[in-house]
Chains A and B, each alone.
Chain A
Amino acid sequence: MTIACVIPAFAQPALLAEAVQSAMAQTLPGTMVVIVDDGCPMPETRTTALECAALHPGRVHVMRQRNGGLSAARNAGIDYALCTFPDLRAVYMLDADNRIHPHFLQRALVALESSPRVGWAYPDIDDLGPEARWDTGGPFLLAPLLHDNFCEAGSLISRRMLDAGLRFDTTMRQGFEDAEFWLRAARHGFEGRHIPQAGFRYRRRAESMLADSERLRPVLQEEMRRRNPSLWQPHNLLRLEAEELPRHAIIQPGATDVRIALDPAAGDSVSRQEFRQLLAAARATPDHHAVPGIVAVLAAGVADVLSAHGLLHAVFWRAAMLLRDQPVVALLLHAEVPVLGMRLAEGALDASHGVFIATASLLDDPARIATLLHDARAMRLDVSCTGQVPRPDDSPLMEAAAEVALLPAAPPAAAWRRPWRTPLHAVIRQVAARTGIGIMRPARPGGRNIAIVQPLHAHGGVERVLLQQAHVLRSHGWTPHLVIAERPDMTPLPGLHEAYASVNFFPDSGYESWSDPQRRYFGAEVSAFSHHTPAADAVGLLAGMDVVLNTHSMACHSLVGRLRRGGVRCLVGLHVVERDGWGMPVGQAHSALAYEHAYDGAIVISDALARWCTAQGWPREKITVVRNAPGYDTTIAPPRRDHAHRRLRALFLGRLDAQKGLERLSAIIRDTRGFVDWRVVGKPVLDGAPPDLGIAIEPIMTAPDALDALYSWADVMLLPSHFEGVPLTILEAQRLGCVPLATDVGAVAEAVSDGVDGLLLPNDARCEALAIDALRRLDKDRVALAALSQNAVSRLSSARWEDTMQPMLALLDGLMQR
């Protein structure tokens, strides 16, 4: 049996003999030493090596090579040992200024051969020089290795690992080459094993190669990430968090078990007793015991209610962010509110639906947590639900207080060495933070997840388009998630929860207006959001997705570069090209030009918009056209229209804002009331006072049957907008034979063939007069009206989202295969 100690020698001849002596004093039989003189210019290195060979005949092998650095010398020693010692079992890396106690290799070999998965055995680090003693114990996990290199270079490496071709990277000459080596070994499926009471002495001097490396730490860590990118990808971090360091311990009052999971909808259960033991052990050695970073006590039924509203993951994610600054956060659900949302408040714990506790605070000072719970006031996360919720009570508070009280007053004895590793409950968060990612949404990657980002979600056309697209995506194996960027709440459209698996909100609101005036792109706004701290958390929200579709969120633009580097494919959805009253370019289409290089593609709703994009510089092959179809599923067939003997009926349906040409609408209504029955349905976007149109304004309708009734009633739908994309209302009206009368803006002409299935108006001063004229003609010529109506029905008979979405589905499949 042979173990080879490889000792690279360069510029430390006085200490070399000590290292060799400690290797030769090993109690493990068959220990050989291979000294690799790495081209050292000091003759003393050579003579010391030869004297060691003379002192230990046949057991010390000495060679010299051209200077190649520490990694090259180690590799040369490894290759020599593999070729020369046929019964070699392992190779030990011993730096020339370190030492090992006599039983080190024997104990290391026991650890190394304890499991076929173990590729290397690593020691605690007992400083030589300083008096520090460092504990690297605890289970071997890959996630902590991404944060701290707790595997010293002075580790015993199995022959299997070396036969697999693993060697030190010779291009890393400034340090951390051992850390990079272990990470690469882990990628190849090997794992490390701690050696208890190993007896490894590490010489630590004020100035050394390590001191130099520490000064270059950020640079070298970036270098390691560059060489092992897959390990730091957010998907991998989430996978590691789920498998090794689950974030949550979820307790239900009265239940006998505790669910340990990253994903609050999943996870494995352990008994309360096991959890209490884990918590107690983690008080002493948080670097050894993987206790979840968050303890969540949820009243019965609360998780189900949150899941039903698609808010479960959003609530846990938000709680994690709050727990960075607060040790305790309460949860309170509000029932039967028309909007879904989350807000912060301060409130009582004794009437709540849940309590979240930061484990770090609990381990550090359980008495303080007990006091906070006793005082029964905390930061509170208020969640609005549209349905019913359980009655809040004090059961979460009492359960949390009981668990805290069961923690032993005095912590158990800690390991006497100072911990080298970061507390396990903080590892993933710190690893992610180093790559610019904040709190990650707590869901394990798997399947095909697509986040659809919108600044707000009310009853606008864009929201309805995206909802329909989400339905189609879901039926094709995608899991859509709705993300609201600008507001803390949203108004769910019918069918929302059937389309979106979850509803999420950015860390806070107001980010859409954070623009950077110094960096406007040809006058269009550019977001300053990425410069600010909440951006890292927003990245964390999206980093676990496979695809992000950003439709109209300025803040999300600024995140796309980081998301893409993290392996998330990013698309921008463009629906309209806008200008303000002064003719300045505004809106997403213009701003998106500044981010084109960061996106994998753009989804546009019309040929006109596609031409505009390519004309502005988008590569043609990055543009995918997904035409709109009606924004809801109709409940009826196109009605028989018997309008010959009655007044003409006209409808306006939409937001009551300047874009829609309200001044034109007002004039047209005024001049046609004598022969047209009008209905106006809509509301201002910003909840301001409704305009005076001379008739009563009906509230917005969203229910399909109400919309069907509205379109069935109207003969004509007027849309005198200054700019549009492809309004859904035109398609919905046409589907039921309601004739559109619309300005030729945006891609309206792609939805309406003038004189065939609708009428187009010029977007200028002639609009009003021509609209009035058209209404008069239709009023007089009901046959022409009927023909237009019939043609409109025919045009929309084959317009289905399933069909219009095919190019996007193909694009997404292509992105996933890259």
Chain B
Amino acid sequence: MILVADIAALMAEPAVLILDGDMPAPALPLPLWRMRREGQAWVLARNEVGAPSPLHAAPLGVLGVLAADDPAWLSLWPGTEPPLVLRDVASCAALLAAQLQAALARNGALRGEVLALRAEHEAARLAIAHWQRSAAQTAPAAPSLLHTDTLGPMHELPVGRTRLARVLPVPLDQTCTLGINIRAALCGIGTSMRVRLIGAESARVAASWHVPGSALLPGWLMLDLPMPAPIWGETALVEVTIDVAPGASLVFADPAPSLRLFRSHGAPRFQVAPLHDSTEVGMGLPPDGIACALPDAIWRGRPRQLLLQPGGSGELTLPAVPVAGFDAVHASLVVSGGPVQAMLACGDICTGWRDVQHGELELVLALPAQATGHASVSVAMRAMGASPAQVEWRNLRASRGAR
């Protein structure tokens, strides 16, 4: 029987070399695993970590085994194809050279396939563009009412953020207009509404509108898509996020229908949709309630630490943080030395100054409903003590929905 210490590591390796017994380890940039006899069993290990597990299936990533003679354990190898036996380092090098040649050839073939796909994609785009132009010459049929629904029982929306979501019993395909019935509204600057039409299964945004407070008036708010929603074959989910400013009021119609969905027929319907936010179309919404890591690229070339002299201040900025679909950003700071105050900001909004004496601080900033695309996020700091303070911006995450 062959046992493996840390079988998960072995199975997850794309390329390993096994050393038989006491064979010296060659100077090769490869994970090296060694097979040794221990009692009645053979044990394959790299770092001697973990209790050994029996090997029932052959790991796919084994390139070969370096052995002076055919190893005795070869007949115990699972499956019908034992690993290749390599007598010396030169054989290893020859094997790797052959693998490299094969990888280069494969790479070349893949690149050829990508080129072919790109060419087909370009031809398809030309065809679609031509079709769109010619189809735009034909007057589309009047849209038909696809579905009527409510956003749910509610009274006046509270100050702050409210999110309403409704899974509709219809597909979103070919949706051209979304209507929301507002019973009463007294809104101005500071109040805004984000409406998204989402494919429920993939959580992709099919259409997105940002409605400023000034556009929130009693009656039916009709939100057009610039062109009908794509044929995704997914359930229509309507999500409405409202930020109500202090002093403002907004009430959706209830129990009367407060939601209508219209479908386009025949020739496609192209509309000017001034409230539509095309930057979100196709975007996958992050899951609710999870603080998501952001791409490493946001830090590229940006400093993460600041040394504050007594009485000094400074700022660390990330100019292009992807904020679309998120409700909040979370900044993790580590302070050493003297006490500081820190403030997290995004555009015109900020957390206000927060005190930290020493150690870790997490700042959470709620993003406005109209936040979209990329935004600049910065941490401002000022030293409050008599000694210098070192501040490290360790992490930035973003979250959506419940925390």
Contact = CB atoms under 8 A, between A and B. Distances in A.
Contact of B12 (A46, A58, A103): A58
Nearest to B81: A64
A54 B15 CA distance: 9
A197 B235 contact: yes
A35 B78 CA distance: 16
Contacts of A62: 11-12, 14, 59-61
A416 B12 contact: no
B56 A79 contact: yes
A59 B233 CA distance: 31
Interface in A196-211: 196-200
Contact of B53 (A53, A84, A106): A84
Contacts of A76: 56-57
Interface stretch (B179-187, B200-208, B271-279, B375-383): B200-208
Given A126-B201, A197-B235, A198-B201, A65 B53 contact: no
A65 B11 CA distance: 13
A62 B57 CA distance: 10
Contacts of A133: 171, 233
Contact of A102 (B12, B14, B79, B203): B203
Given A47-B106, A101-B202, A63 B60 contact: yes
A629 B113 CA distance: 92
Given A101-B201, A413-B169, A53 B12 contact: yes
Interface residues of B, number: 38
Contact of A37 (B14, B56, B60, B167): B60
Contacts of B78: 65
A137 to B, nearest CB: 11
Contact of A416 (B57, B171, B202): B171
Contacts of A58: 8-9, 12
Given A64-B60, A197-B167, A126 B233 contact: yes
A415 B106 contact: no
Contacts of A80: 11, 56-57
Nearest to A36: B57
Interface in A41-77: 46-47, 49-51, 53-54, 57-66, 76
Contacts of A415: 169
B12 A57 contact: yes
A27 B169 CA distance: 25
Contacts of B234: 126, 197, 199
A49 B15 CA distance: 11
Given A62-B61, A63-B60, A413-B147, A197 B200 contact: yes
B170 interface: yes
B7 interface: yes
Interface residues of A, number: 46
Interface in B1-53: 7-9, 11-15, 53
A175 interface: no
Interface string B89-101: 0000000000000
Contact of A103 (B7, B59, B203, B233): B203
A83 interface: yes
A414 B170 CA distance: 9
A63 B231 CA distance: 38
A86 to B, nearest CB: 10
Given A131-B231, A133-B171, A60 B15 contact: no
Given A50-B61, A76-B57, A79-B56, A61 B8 contact: yes
B180 to A, nearest CB: 19
Interface string B66-86: 000000000000111100000
B202 A102 contact: yes
B11 A63 contact: yes
A63 B284 contact: no
Interface in A76-114: 76, 79-80, 83-85, 101-103, 106
Interface in B225-243: 231, 233-235, 237
A62 B227 CA distance: 44
Interface string A616-651: 000000000000000000000000000000000000
Contacts of B7: 83-84
B286 A416 contact: no
A39 B147 contact: no
Contacts of B170: 413, 416
Contacts of A61: 8, 11-12
A798 B14 CA distance: 90
Given A58-B12, A106-B287, A126-B233, A83 B61 contact: no
A79 B237 CA distance: 39
Contacts of A27: 286-287, 290
Given A50-B61, A65-B58, A416-B171, A102 B284 contact: yes
Given A54-B14, A61-B8, A80-B11, 9 more contacts: A46-B60, A53-B60, A62-B14, A65-B58, A83-B7, A103-B202, A103-B287, A106-B287, A197-B235
7 contacts: A47-B106, A53-B14, A54-B15, A61-B8, A63-B60, A64-B81, A103-B201
8 cross-chain pairs, A with B, having the tightest CB-CB distances, nearest first: A199-B201, A61-B11, A197-B200, A62-B60, A63-B57, A54-B14, A101-B202, A53-B14
